[in-house]
Chains A and B, each alone.
Chain A
Amino acid sequence: MKNKKIKKLERKLKREAFCKSKKLRKFMIFKWLLKATGKLLVIGLVFFVSTFALYMFNGENKLIYYVIRPLLNKHYDSQVRDRKI
């Protein structure tokens, strides 16, 4: 247990020393940027694939026509309106 804690502390100290050098800092930032860009690309790709599939297969129109509008029409037909002139 004690060994583990010491090792962890040593690693932390090494990392801090490592980060103090300019080159290393740049490398870390670059690495972080790469990771973030990769994540953004994956998110963008998932967004594109899902919305393009929805678009291409006319998904939103099918949902509206076959599900939402019939439900809304049921509601509108049950409305009681005061139409006294």
Chain B
Amino acid sequence: MKITDKVIASIDKKLERFDPLWQADHGKGGLRSRYYDKTGIAKWREWRGVKDTLYDYSQWLNNIVSMVQMVASAPIPCLKGFWEYRWMGSYLGTFCFIDRLYEGYRGYELRIAHMNMHAIVQSLTKKIALVLANDKRLGGGPLSDRMIPVDEVLPPLFLKGFKDLIPIPLQTLPEFIICDIDQHIEPYYIDVAESYGLPADVCSRCAAETGVAIDDAFPIFGKAFLTTNMPCNASESTSMFQRRRIGLPDNPVTLAMIHNEPGAHPYSTQELKNAIAFIEKEYGVKYDWDEMFRYAKEMNEQNTIELEKWDYFKTPYSALSGIAETLYRLYSWASANGQDPYFTRNDRKVIKIMRKAYEEKYEPFGGRTRHRAFLWGPSAVYYTDFPTWTQNCWGITIVLNMDSTMGHNMISTDDPEQAIQDLACFSEKAVMRHHAVGGWDNVNAVWEWARNFNCDMVLFNDNVACKGMNGVHALMEEQARDLGFHFVFIEHDLEDSRTISRQDMRKCVNDYMQIVLGEKPVDPTLVEFDDSDAY
């Protein structure tokens, strides 16, 4: 043992009483003890021992640098953005969000979690600066007409064949990402939509997007808009509202819904070809397959690494799990989608750490894991930092979430005809389409996923406003019983935390763990607490 290690170990020993994990183990407090009531604001940051605290501090600085770079690259548009858009104010909650997500993380899992989070932060900050600097509502910029607004559930990778154009998922910044950071932002936009008579029982994501459109809070850029057929009636409805409000020429890329049947792929392939032709016509540019292949290679490498990660997920020695895994995969797949080489570089580093942790038989979270769960959950699991809470409160590791199961087929990098077919399969397996409304087989696959990843538990989010999924409620309960999984339905109203609060969601798990399984919590301070005023 080196001298420095000895010194650090002795300091850690002296200060261990400040470590919330130690406090929980010794009945002297826990992870919730350092918070002001209701607000979700901590009196001080978590003491994780010398090495991990300093690492967490260095990553906090790293994220600040990205934010400073964002403002420095476009100071006036950023200030205008903060002044104009309510959702921009919510991004100030990012530091709180990151702290919440990685509570109780130590060692390898903390390192990987921060690497993944910084990849998101650096990408998102660049995107915000780019969008605001070219937002026509704020005066526009040199790239305003070279950007293509794309619906967020349409993977933008196939558009990289347009060398001089920049595809940007339109809803990502004002709605899709920010709802994960601040639980109070979407209710405002939902109220805007409902004040026009939109019924309150529709999916709150769709209601919120409609509200953003009516409130004129979508940044405006580009010459034409690529929309898509969305997987439910509320999604169709919000597409209509956005289309009329934004007023750009649009092309709906209507990918096949029941996409597991081989006959569906030629249809989706033709849809992508139509979209490419539409952009060529509206923007006056030619599609370049060589340029497309460059990015397909990036995506293929990311997917290859992802498949290797899955092998580690099946073991108890995976240093990547929970929110660090699911949020990263959601962003890197749905938003970055092969366009940013930073994610490939990050994946290479992460897989190296995962290999090392596996060789060392390193058990994350101090070996406190009791159950391995497959999670079927959308945005409500992010603003509630749900996987982190299940881990810290009950020792339930979220091995994989549904968001991680999206398109992982390889894309041809030398044959355009094969590549467009591969891209069609890839795009069919996108957010929502692949999870909830892409046919019964996709929903029913949850058991196979859980079994393949050696899970004994399935946590299934129950969006009370999702008409499609309400129909399968009893079927899932019956199957869980037959197949012998611990199964918990977690009720939520997606982005409207007023209907079902965070604590109500946590109560679903608390009740199952206490009443059905008769278990005691790992950290009793996390069982019941009020965080209704938190971001």
Stretch at the interface among B41-49, B117-125, B451-459: B41-49
Most buried by A among B39, B45, B215: B45
Q: Which of A18-26, A27-35, A49-57 contacts B (4 or more CB under 8 A)?
A: A49-57
- What is the predominant secondary structure among interface residues of chain B facing chain A? helix
**B89-97, B218-226, B331-339, B464-472 - interface stretch:** B89-97
Q: For the complex, is B99 an interface residue (Cβ under 8 Å from A)?
A: yes
Q: How distant is B91 from chain A, measured CB to nearest CB, in Å?
A: 10
Interface of A is mostly: helix
- For the complex, count residues of B whose C-beta is within 8 A of A: 26
When distances are taken between beta carbons in the complex, the residues of chain A under 8 Å from B535 are: 65
Contact in complex: A73, B89 (CB < 8 Å):
yes
Taking CB atoms, residues of chain B closer than 8 Å to A62 are 41
Known: A72-B89, A75-B83. A82 touches B45 (CB 8 A): no
In contact, A68 and B92 (Cβ under 8 angstroms): yes
> Which residues does chain A contribute within 8 Å of B89, judged by CB atoms?
69, 72-73, 76
Say yes or no: is A15 at the interface (Cβ < 8 Å to chain B).
Answer: no
Identify which of A52, A58, A81 contacts B43 (C-beta below 8 A).
A58
A58-B45 contact, Cβ under 8 Å, with A76-B86, A83-B215, A85-B196: yes
**Pair B57/A52 contact, Cβ less than 8 Å:** yes
Contacts of A56 in B (CB 8 A): 44-45, 57
Chain A contributes a number of interface residues (CB within 8 A of B) equal to 22
> B60 on the interface (CB 8 Å rule)?
yes
B128 part of interface (Cβ distance < 8 Å): no
Q: Is A64 an interface residue (CB 8 A)?
A: yes
- Which among B61, B96, B244 is the interface contact of A65 at CB below 8 angstroms? B96
Q: Could you tell me if A61 and B57 are in contact, using CB atoms closer than 8 angstroms?
A: no
How far apart are A77's CB and chain B's nearest CB, in angstroms?
Answer: 9
Contact A51 B61, beta carbon cutoff 8 Å: yes
Complex CA–CA separation, A73 to B185 (angstroms)? 11
A16 surroundings in chain B (CB, below 8 A): none
B45 lies within 8 A of A55 (CB): yes
Q: Which residue of A lies closest to B90 (CB)?
A: A69
| Cβ B57 vs Cβ A64 within 8 A | no
Query: B44 is contacted by which of A57, A64, A76, A85 (Cβ under 8 Å)?
Result: A57
Q: B96 near A61 (CB under 8 angstroms)? A: yes
With an 8 A cutoff between CB atoms, is B283 at the interface?
no
A85 to B197, CA, bound (A): 12
Given contacts A64-B92, A72-B92, A81-B216, 9 further A-B contacts (CB under 8 A): A55-B61, A58-B41, A58-B42, A61-B99, A64-B93, A72-B89, A76-B89, A81-B215, A85-B214
Q: 17 A-B residue contacts at CB 8 Å? A: A52-B57, A55-B61, A56-B45, A56-B57, A57-B44, A58-B99, A64-B96, A65-B39, A65-B41, A66-B41, A72-B89, A81-B215, A82-B216, A83-B192, A83-B214, A85-B196, A85-B245
